[in-house]
Structure 1
Amino acid sequence: MKQEILKGIRFNIGKGDNILFWEDVWMGDQALKHAFTDIYHLAPNRLISIADNYYLQGNDIVWNLSIRRNLRDREIEEYAAVLSCISTGKPDQTGMDRSVWKPNKSGSFSVKSLHNLIFGFPDDLEETMMDKMWKYKLPPKIAVFAWLVGGDTPPWSIS
């Protein structure tokens, strides 16, 4: 269950002091440790925050990724790809870090959106065939038969 919940959490960067640079999902759809495994394994501190990986130079953000040794040729390309990826993520020095529940358009967690995430349903499902069927003027025997075969809920509620 924990993995399903973690799949839906994304972070909006404030200062970056509460978001882990490599472990949390703050750029793209996966944690940077999965997208850039070679560079991740060269990081001396894999639990470092975003705030500890950049500094301000005037109004510009300069990323400073520490690595344990000199890079090999193939690693240079991946290091450049990491820098290119994170260059679009600009920490906001005035704001606070905030977690967002991506499966829900409002950004707030709901059990329904977790259910949809686990079972692969989009959050904004269109009307089901059964919902549409109840709007048509079908003879009751046909409507009830279709409901029994379809296994959906009946169109009435008990008060």
Structure 2
Amino acid sequence: MGQLVTQFFGFEVGDGQNVRFWKDKWCGTTPFCEAFPSLFVTATSKEAWANEVWTAEEERRRSWTPSFNRPFNDWEMEEVGRLLCCLDGKMVRVDEEDRVRWVESKDGVFSVKSLYRALLLVSLASFPSKIIWNSYV
């Protein structure tokens, strides 16, 4: 059951110490390793934390700086552009902690109702709601 539910959790990056840049869902609904597989293959540090990929030398010079094993080929530039679009406006906030968020609700807060709806969409078999929600009182 845990694996079924954890797919609906993501992160909001604060200080970036507990969010993996490539493998956690923090910018959209898919981890970067799945959304940008050819870039992930060439990434130098596949286990990098978000704060390790964030550079903040000065107030004006803040940027994401993932490192790669080689220069990009022409056919990879579209994927690089899509990654940059995803990162646009995202930043590490040193004064805040990373937070877990529920991706199945607009406000990021878990509710049983949103879990039920999410499981209905994922479930191949129909959910036995009449058995579970039936009250004998």
Instruction: Summarize the Cα distance change of 1:79–1:105 in structure 2 as closer, same or farther, 3 Å threshold.
Output: closer
Question: Which one scores higher on RCO, CA 8 angstroms, separation ≥ 6?
Answer: 2
Superposition deviation, residue 2 in structure 1: 3.8
Q: Give the equivalent residue in structure 2 for 1:94.
A: 95
Question: Is the contact made by 1:4 and 1:117 (CA closer than 8 Å) also made in structure 2?
Answer: no
Q: Distance in 1 between matches of 2:107 and 2:79?
A: 34
Q: Is contact 2:15–2:96 with CA below 8 Å preserved after alignment?
A: yes
The CA RMSD over aligned residues, in Å, is 2.5
Alignment partners' CA distance in 1, 2:72 and 2:106: 41
In structure 1, distance between residues paired with 2:39 and 2:51: 18
Q: Distance in 2 between matches of 1:119 and 1:158?
A: 24
Number of matched pairs: 127
> CA contact under 8 A between 1:16 and 1:49: conserved in structure 2?
yes
The answer on whether the counterparts of 2:54 and 2:91 sit within 8 Å (CA) in structure 1 is no
Cα deviation per residue 1:64-117 (whole Å; 9 max; x = unaligned)?
A: 111011211111231232122112212212100000113245634344432321
Alignment of 1:59-74 (within 5 A): 59-60=59-60, 61-74=62-75
Q: 1:104 to 1:84 in 2, by over 3 A?
A: closer
The percentage of aligned residue pairs carrying the same residue is 28
Structure 2 match to 1:30? 30
CA distance in 2 between partners of 1:65 and 1:98 (Å)? 22
Return 5+ residue gaps in structure 2 as ranges.
123-128
